[in-house]
Amino acid sequence: MYVFLSIAAALSLFPLIWAVISATNANTDILRGTMLPGTHLIQNFNRLTELTDLGRAFWNSARNATMATFISIVICSLAGYGFEIYHSKAKDRLMSVLLLSMMIPFAAVMIPLFQLTANLSLLNTTLGFMLPTLSTAFLIMLFRQNTRTFPQEMIEAARIDGLNEISIFLRMYVPTMKSTYAAAITITFMGTWNVFLWPRIIMISPESITMPILISNLMAGYVADFGVIMLAVTIATLPTIVLFSFLQRYFAEGMTGTIK
């Protein structure tokens, strides 16, 4: 079993390792297929900053992903809590409609969503970027399913002690469901950080560029400098690696609905 897991881990890590090694090599070395670290990291970084506005793209991605994650987690956790704690048949039917919406591909709603964003004058704005992710059926379902394992006796005891519903949610539900929040934060941040199609449509001005668009622009030239591209890919990967490293302890528990 450990041999199989080691092979699977090596195959999973190989693209990342190859990207990091390629970021230190010249384009000619990469085309020759070298798998050893090189000495062109500084040159590739200088070339990357000359060709692109790396700082602005990184800041735009970080700002958009952080704000979208925070607002989405707040909305979806409240919705999931409400669906389960204040349970009714009408809410079950509404939840079924939400789950059906997960089967609709984004391409089917892309044009009307763009028209809505344009009519609201939200092009090239963070709010326009966040609009499709402020509330997702998957996160609502995740919080609702995990709320089913939340001890109802705690809520009843808190109500008897005089706590209002907002205090129960903030002081009891949120700390107890921290593993679910960790999983939701990881999933949402990775999704909003790596999203390409939606910002490509609404982020028209160069000042609104994000990291996925920056990498796409590097690959769109007549001659691709793979050392520069792989350095940009490595930089774009770092925030998600750091976030997952901090939250991995709770990620598996959150996905399985475990509450300690």
CA angle 114, 119, 120 (to 5 degrees): 100
Greatest mean pLDDT range, 85-89, 146-150, 192-196, 242-246: 192-196
Delimit the domains of the chain by residue range.
Answer: 18-256
CA angle 28, 34, 35 (to 5 degrees): 145
CATH superfamily of 18-256: MetI-like (1.10.3720.10)
pLDDT score, position 260: 45
In whole angstroms, what is the distance from residue 136 CA to residue 131 CA?
10
- 189 versus 101: the higher-pLDDT residue is 189
Confidence of residue 64 (pLDDT cuts 50, 70, 90): very high
All residues at 6 or more sequence positions from 135 whose CB lies less than 8 Å from its CB, including other chains: 72, 75, 76, 79
- pLDDT of residue 85 exceeding 50: yes
pLDDT score, position 238: 92
pLDDT score, position 254: 64
Supply the mean pLDDT for the chain.
87
- pLDDT of residue 131 exceeding 80: yes
In whole angstroms, what is the distance from residue 141 CA to residue 4 CA?
33
Confidence of residue 156 (pLDDT cuts 50, 70, 90): confident
pLDDT score, position 255: 62
pLDDT score, position 168: 87
pLDDT score, position 38: 85
Is there a contact between 232 and 214 (Cβ–Cβ < 8 Å)?
A: yes
Q: 3-class SS at 112?
A: helix
CA angle 188, 232, 211 (to 5 degrees): 40
Tokens linked to 127? 């709010």
- pLDDT > 70: what percent of the chain? 96
Tell me the mean pLDDT in the region 182-206.
Answer: 89
pLDDT score, position 104: 86
